[in-house]
Amino acid sequence: MRSIVTIVEPMVKSIAHLALCAVLLLLAACTTVPVTGRKAMHIYPEGDLVRMAASQFEELKKDTPLSTDPELNARVKRVGNRIAKVAAYDLPNAEWEFVVFDDPEQINAFAMPGGKVAVYTGLFKVALSDADLAVVIGHEIAHVVARHASERVSQQILVAGGTLAVAAGTSDMKSSDRRLILAGVGMGTAVGVILPFSRLHESEADAIGILYTAEAGYDPRSAIHFWQRMAAEKSDSPPEFLSTHPSDATRVRKLRSLMPEAVAIYEAGL
């Protein structure tokens, strides 16, 4: 029987090589996220993502019913444009487009690279005021400004490269040992890298978005009540470490810590 050291050693060497490559890539492709100042890595061309997003968004508009409610459309465009005006300092070349999809069951919104933002009509069950809506749109605009999609793609490229490196480094091992190692790498990458990274993006979008919301003239304190109502809409949630999003309690706690700064910005503009 092979020792655990013999089994794991090729994986360790592969990961070490990957880590060195990652460091080199990080030095070559490191950028700074606006507002938060976090260092981020982008190894996939942003322009390519923007073009793909624009094409996909057009297809989505063809395949998904659009809301014909003039009030909802006016609200989304009004709030979206006010926040986009604030975000223009950090992302001046975005071509913002705000669309309302008619799906009462979807309590959701999303954004795509380049400035495509969609809100589903179901969200208005929870977004009762323009300030509530601003919390959501500010969050989505923050994802675009922070280039989170590009960073996720870059991460996926590195993860795929790491998996291939481990696969190559264990190619001469017994198939049962190799499967065990690859399964462990897959699980470890998901729980230890991909999910925490996603939660980081969500928290960062909350942080940037709440400041945009305040600067756009919407009371940021509405965020606490909004996310509490969103939490009440959920039947159940996975444990935080298995989720792409922070838990509701974590999200509210972090927003509370940001509130003094956001409220000061809001009140300064009154």
pLDDT tens track for 42-83: 888 889 999 999 999 999 999 999 999 999 999 999 999 999
Which residues of the chain, if any, have pLDDT below 70?
Answer: 1-29, 158-194, 196, 235-242
pLDDT at residue 5 in the model: 37
pLDDT at residue 263 in the model: 98
pLDDT at residue 22 in the model: 52
The catalytic position among 95, 140, 204, 267 is 140
pLDDT at residue 270 in the model: 86
pLDDT at residue 173 in the model: 65
Does the annotation mark 59 as catalytic? no
pLDDT at residue 175 in the model: 62
Taking CB atoms within 8 Å and a gap of at least 24, the contacts of 233-242 are 233/107, 233/125, 233/126, 240/199, 241/191, 241/195, 242/191, 242/195
Give the distance from CA 262 to its chain's centroid: 21
Q: What is the pTM of this model?
A: 0.80
